[in-house]
Amino acid sequence: MVFFLKQIARMAVRKIATDPVAREQAVRAARTVTDEARKIAAQENKAYAAGKSVRRALNKFQGKD
């Protein structure tokens, strides 16, 4: 299983390194993750904030946002 995950990560890194559009998407995704991490760190109840963050991500993936 770990080998499979390494292969997926390696393929993603190669794609990001060669494709400018994929690179832009990766940068946008990384910024979104850091913004969410800041929101979670700023909250007093971190578990609740993390749950809301996961819910926002799931809704976005499902197209409900």
What is the amino acid identity at position 6? K
**Residue 39 pLDDT:** 92
**Residue 61 pLDDT:** 86
Inter-residue contact 53 to 47 (CB < 8 Å): no
**Residue 64 pLDDT:** 78
Closest CA to 40 of 56, 64, 61, 24: 56
Q: What is the pLDDT tens value at each position of the chain, 65 positions in all?
A: 778 999 999 999 999 999 999 999 999 999 999 999 999 999 999 999 999 999 998 998 888 76
**Residue 47 pLDDT:** 95
Helix 2-18 / helix 20-42 crossing angle, nearest 10 deg: 120
